[in-house]
Structure 1
Amino acid sequence: MGLITKFYHFLHHHIRHSNRVIGSIVGLSILDQSFSIGCVYVWKSIIDQYLIRADQWSSSDFYIGVLSLVFLWQAMSFVSRLAKNRQSYKTTVLADQVSLSFFERAYGHVMSLSHDFHESRSTGQVMRQLSKAREDLDNVIKAFFDKLLIQVISFLIVTGFFFYIRWQIALIMLAFIPVFLYFTHRYTKKIDSVQRKINNKGEKAYASVQQALDAFMVVQSFQSQEMESARLRSNNRLAHQGLKSKTHAFLRLAFVQGSLINLARLSIIAAGGYYVFHGQITVGEVVLLSMWGYFIYNPMYQFSDLLAVFAEGMDSVARVEKLMRIEASIKSPRAGFRPIKVRGEVHFENVAFHYPGVSTGGIKHIDFTLPPGGKLAIVGPSGSGKSTLAKLLPRFYDVNSGCVRVDGVDVKQWDLQHLRAAIGMVLQDVVLFNDTIFNNIAYACGGQQNLKVPSDSLRKAVEQAAQKAFAHDFIMTLPQGYDTVVGERGIKLSGGEKQRIGIARTILRDPPILILDEATSALDSESEVMVMRALEQICENHTTLTIAHRLSTIRHCDQILFCEKGQIVERGDHDSLMALEGRYYRYVLLQREKETLPQNFGRVQSQSDNTPTAPEKIEWPV
């Protein structure tokens, strides 16, 4: 019964604004059950008035009377079915509205959570939790109004008639209910516990599948299909074991319930026979009570199935509600800073940061100023904290100490939406949606891209952005041009093409501050040339923070910071750092050596024993 109590509290909280709809559902349910139960009473009249007293009626009066009652039974059945159909329709609509609303609120909450949440959770597991909760909640609401509510109404009506006809038989009928509820509650606790384990294993299996599908090229290239299948089988096997345990519990419960119901109905018939023998009730009333017993005990027999739906549904909802209780670690302040115009000045003041739960790594003593329209590059070996700096500026994470300012205002005091609207990011791995090229670029407009017929001005702006990003020409060579669907994560496009689509999206948004994080590191030389031309367009008159390995993207920056082990060890422009002949100088030499490496890669020198030697290992200079 605890499951139903949980659902009642959930229902009261989430559909309290739908009182009229709920009232109509309850009213239609009462109408349905009243006429359905009344149909049984018609058969009592046929038995007592006509079948038992058939010799007292003329042939014509007998058939007229019976046919009249049959016609009345049909009319009452029609009204009952009509009310039931209308009630089911309203219930279906309500269930869909509530489950969709719950799903949308949960999705909105998850999307509002900070980076630390998303980087620590499996995307597939979260997706499974949200989608399963929506589906299960829909089933629970339908089960509540279509079955449980009707069962309660029929129980109340029939119990009243039982007491009206013969209260002693009513007490016999009610005596079995506490025993019934005891065994139901006892098995429900076990079923609820097993269902939580099944859901947990199901989420892991779903996450495993989603992860493998996302990385299907890696799976196929390493011939790991069998390994991924074995991982899925392992999770499914555990879920299957839980399902078997749950099924056994249900079957035992169903056996106990069925035995109690049969015993109760036999008791009612036996008691009815006793009272008929003593002339206190009629045969029709015994038949009536026996048939009405169906309205009490058959729904109770189905109660175990209802509990299965409630157990699975409320566990799914509880998991999502647990997600919804997680608060974002990064919140926008009340009455946050919302400037009319952003100049684009960036200042890091003695900033230190390390990721939550990680004692090593991070950055410390970071201090620099980037004036409006300035160009700053951050270079250094992997793990030196370059990308971490880029995450602190749009407040994906908050600094542990120090301060990050934009236009002289601490980013913690900015309205979060206004801060991130002022910053555009072009990443190494551009994320494209499985949609058209047009919609992927127009995504920068915040929803306008979803219009079925975009305005002429929006289409013109998208094409202009694509031209500035040097993407228009290759887009027009595609069969459907801007209406070409790029596939999951842009899989139908090359790396350079995806980068230029991402740059066009940022150009369309036109933020005053740009972050270019390894925007060309994964491209071939030809694609790099095209992307570099596009980056020149986007960086003009914008404050630009560039994180890169390739010198072509940084040598013309006003200031270069060389980071190592989370600290700035050198700073200056390209020429001054080269003259210093320090870390940056050796970095440049290493880059030049790497650029010439393909010419000699794979060549071997002959030795006296004709044994080839491996190329020299290139190490990071210190």
Structure 2
Amino acid sequence: MMTGFHELVYPELEKKQLTGYIIISTISGVVGICLTYLVGHFLDLIIASCQEREWVEYIVVYVGLNIINRICYIRMEYQRVSIEGKLSYGMTRKVLKIVYNTSYLNYCKENPAAISQKINNDTGIIASFYVSFFKNIIVQTVSTIVYLLVLIKNSLLIGSLVILMMIAYTGVYLISKKLIYRTEKEVIEQKTNYATTLFELIEKSVSIRMNGMSQYHFGCMENDYQNLLRVLKKQIGAYSIYNVLKDILILIFQTALFLAGGRMIQMDSMSVGTLVVMLNYFVYVLGCMEFFLNIGSSYQTVKASEERLKKYLVLDEIPTGKERQRIIEKIELKNLEFAYPGQNRLFDITTEFCMGKIYWIRGRNGVGKSSLVNIMLGIYGTSYTGQVIYNGYRLGELDYKWFINNNTAVIEQDPYIFDGTIQENICLKGNRIDMDELKALVSQMKLDSLMKFVDMDSTKHRENKIYSGGEKQKIAIVRTLLSDSCIWILDEPTANLDEESKIIFYKELEQRKKEHIILLISHETPLCRWDHIVDIGR
């Protein structure tokens, strides 16, 4: 669990690269100040009818500085993208690690698309803010000081007007900021809701079409769109109020500057070139003010993103110990009770599982068979009472990641097959596989049509294939049968298999059970000899 965002952001910043980025940005800012001054001075030379040689000198200097500025800008953009990308990725990785190391019950009710968008969008917003903040706070501060010094040096009156404008500008922002923050937060939430609905429409398109739910889901999309449109209009209204007040203020002070500068030119106390420089510096000061004031409004957006991510950062991680048991010979469940928050107890179990035996776990739908597996594998953290013991060690005393990677193999009801070759999917945990045995099993499970992918290099020739439910289950079965993990947990492993494949699978289980603890969850009677039946919910 993290206590603050500095723990998330600061370690991921590339300090040396950020320092170089700030230095180049400062050089670019100084060059920009000089370019403006040169333009004003050049105008005065033209008006004074200077010699052509002086024109050429100024043009050469002006072009040279522009080239330097452009080079600096290109380098800055490369560095900015690199720093922001690394920072965003580092934060995303940290948040995902926290999610992966906490109880699934902490986030199971959230839509995966919503979680994905929150993490992706919000880490991007936070990364962009902090990188620009570190750079701009230095560059804009230096620039503002230089601009004000030049303005005051050339005209105390104009310098005073600009300072007065900065104070008034700040007042306008303070009046508008609460309304802007409120609408920003609403827009972010509604965008997430709309994106989530679109994701479901695409991900579940087959089920939605088969069950005639298209009208309902398109109605939900329309409703989310209208809500998004409503808050966007509200946001536009908030920004319009702010921008109108700001523009009126700028117009007033620009008019005052024109009048004051024009009067000074008439009195020969200021040149035309100097007035042009000062008017440009006035605009630049506005830009600097915009940045300083937008630190507040930008931070409001970042704050909304931080609040959305905070719920994941404060999650308690699953307790883990240091004990590693290469072979698990016995699992004990002692007075194991579990209930979902606000619901009745699902089960109360005391039993044990030993190596070399097949246990048929049965029970009607909804009694907690899959929940039992999730508890035994630590997916639900410590959200249960009682004890889960492996070789005499409580689950919390085991090195959790090592235990999952080395002691367990699981076949889920809907097996996870990622976009890669069969060999990559079967060798998921990096186990050394006997290729002859692999090919024999693939052939036995009638996966011959996919055999050509078995010999492929693990980093090349990825096949973007859509596997059928039966093919997924067969690949997961081969993966488990070739695994050297001592605990096999099989959740409805034959639901999508033909009868011949079921017989082959159960025959393999019987032949291989000697060195494994096999937990078989199934509604139908297994086509193999089981050693014990564990009834859930009876």
**Counterparts of 2:128 and 2:245, CA distance in 1:** 26
Aligned partner (choices 494, 499, 502) of residue 525 of structure 1 = 499
1:351 equivalent to 2:326? Answer no
**Counterparts of 2:73 and 2:254, CA distance in 1:** 27
**Counterparts of 1:434 and 1:106, CA distance in 2:** 24
How far did residue 129 of structure 1 move? 0.6
1:337 equivalent to 2:309? Answer no
The structure having more radius of gyration, on CA atoms, is 1
> 1:344/1:101 Cα in 2 relative to 1: closer, same or farther (>3 Å)?
same
**Residue aligning to 2:446:** 474
1:41 equivalent to 2:41? Answer no
Aligned partner (choices 375, 378, 382) of residue 365 of structure 2 = 382
How far did residue 471 of structure 1 move? 4.9
Aligned partner (choices 391, 409, 414) of residue 393 of structure 2 = 409
How far did residue 392 of structure 1 move? 2.7
* Structure 2 contact 151–158 (Cα < 8 Å) conserved: yes
Cα distance per residue 1:324-370 (max 9 Å; x no partner) = 22223x3213xx3223x324212222322222x13314112x22233
* Structure 1 contact 139–309 (Cα < 8 Å) conserved: no
**Counterparts of 1:414 and 1:436, CA distance in 2:** 33
1:425 equivalent to 2:401? Answer no
Cα distance per residue 1:29-72 (max 9 Å; x no partner) = 22222222212222333343x33433xx6xxxx22222222222
**Residue aligning to 1:109:** 98
Cα distance per residue 1:396-415 (max 9 Å; x no partner) = 33474332221122222222
**Counterparts of 1:9 and 1:354, CA distance in 2:** 33
* Structure 1 contact 103–133 (Cα < 8 Å) conserved: no
Cα distance per residue 1:9-35 (max 9 Å; x no partner) = 859952686333233222222222222
- 2:343 alignment partner, SS class: coil
> 1:374/1:227 Cα in 2 relative to 1: closer, same or farther (>3 Å)?
same
Percent identical pairs in the alignment equals 17
**Residue aligning to 2:352:** 369
**Counterparts of 2:9 and 2:493, CA distance in 1:** 48
1:254 equivalent to 2:254? Answer no
Cα distance per residue 1:405-428 (max 9 Å; x no partner) = 211222222221233231222233
* Structure 2 contact 12–90 (Cα < 8 Å) conserved: no
**Counterparts of 1:521 and 1:479, CA distance in 2:** 23
* Structure 1 contact 28–87 (Cα < 8 Å) conserved: yes
**Counterparts of 1:480 and 1:361, CA distance in 2:** 49
How far did residue 168 of structure 1 move? 3.0
How far did residue 173 of structure 1 move? 0.8
**Residue aligning to 2:437:** 464
**Counterparts of 1:326 and 1:157, CA distance in 2:** 47
1:436 equivalent to 2:421? Answer yes
How far did residue 433 of structure 1 move? 1.7
**Counterparts of 2:439 and 2:142, CA distance in 1:** 64
**Counterparts of 1:564 and 1:240, CA distance in 2:** 49
Aligned partner (choices 234, 239, 257) of residue 268 of structure 1 = 257
How far did residue 158 of structure 1 move? 0.9
Q: For residue 481 of structure 1, what is the amino acid of its counterpart?
A: F
The two structures have a TM-score, normalised by structure 2, of 0.88
Aligned partner (choices 496, 508, 511) of residue 482 of structure 2 = 508
> 1:168/1:349 Cα in 2 relative to 1: closer, same or farther (>3 Å)?
same
* Structure 1 contact 500–531 (Cα < 8 Å) conserved: no
**Counterparts of 1:9 and 1:263, CA distance in 2:** 41
Cα distance per residue 1:486-507 (max 9 Å; x no partner) = 76xx852242x32221122223
**Counterparts of 2:496 and 2:508, CA distance in 1:** 16
Aligned partner (choices 199, 212, 222) of residue 210 of structure 1 = 199
How far did residue 164 of structure 1 move? 2.1
* Structure 2 contact 421–453 (Cα < 8 Å) conserved: no
How far did residue 544 of structure 1 move? 1.6
* Structure 2 contact 9–91 (Cα < 8 Å) conserved: no
> 1:232/1:260 Cα in 2 relative to 1: closer, same or farther (>3 Å)?
same
* Structure 2 contact 265–272 (Cα < 8 Å) conserved: yes
How far did residue 128 of structure 1 move? 1.0
> 1:537/1:119 Cα in 2 relative to 1: closer, same or farther (>3 Å)?
farther
Aligned partner (choices 66, 71, 76) of residue 82 of structure 1 = 71
Which deviates more from structure 2 when the two are superposed, residues 155-164 or residues 292-301?
A: 292-301
**Residue aligning to 1:237:** 226
* Structure 1 contact 462–508 (Cα < 8 Å) conserved: no
* Structure 2 contact 445–504 (Cα < 8 Å) conserved: no
**Counterparts of 1:399 and 1:137, CA distance in 2:** 32
Runs of at least 5 residues in structure 2 that lack an aligned partner in the other structure: none
By relative contact order (CA 8 Å, sep 6+), the higher-ranking structure is 2
**Counterparts of 2:119 and 2:230, CA distance in 1:** 24
Cα distance per residue 1:422-477 (max 9 Å; x no partner) = 1222233222223322221121328xxxxxxxxxxx5x536634634x55663332
Runs of at least 5 residues in structure 1 that lack an aligned partner in the other structure: 1-7, 447-457, 566-622
- 1:66 alignment partner, SS class: helix
1:27 equivalent to 2:41? Answer no
**Counterparts of 1:179 and 1:133, CA distance in 2:** 32
> 1:289/1:476 Cα in 2 relative to 1: closer, same or farther (>3 Å)?
same
How far did residue 149 of structure 1 move? 5.6
Which deviates more from structure 2 when the two are superposed, residues 205-214 or residues 137-146?
A: 137-146
**Counterparts of 2:507 and 2:8, CA distance in 1:** 59
**Counterparts of 2:5 and 2:268, CA distance in 1:** 49
> 1:156/1:29 Cα in 2 relative to 1: closer, same or farther (>3 Å)?
farther
Q: For residue 360 of structure 2, what is the amino acid of its counterpart?
A: A
Q: For residue 296 of structure 1, what is the amino acid of its counterpart?
A: V
> 1:386/1:70 Cα in 2 relative to 1: closer, same or farther (>3 Å)?
closer
* Structure 1 contact 191–249 (Cα < 8 Å) conserved: yes
**Counterparts of 2:312 and 2:198, CA distance in 1:** 22
**Counterparts of 2:5 and 2:376, CA distance in 1:** 43
Q: For residue 332 of structure 2, what is the amino acid of its counterpart?
A: H
How far did residue 160 of structure 1 move? 1.6
How far did residue 304 of structure 1 move? 8.0
1:14 equivalent to 2:10? Answer yes
Aligned partner (choices 125, 129, 134) of residue 140 of structure 1 = 129
**Counterparts of 2:387 and 2:164, CA distance in 1:** 72
Q: For residue 42 of structure 1, what is the amino acid of its counterpart?
A: L
> 1:219/1:156 Cα in 2 relative to 1: closer, same or farther (>3 Å)?
same
Q: For residue 74 of structure 1, what is the amino acid of its counterpart?
A: V
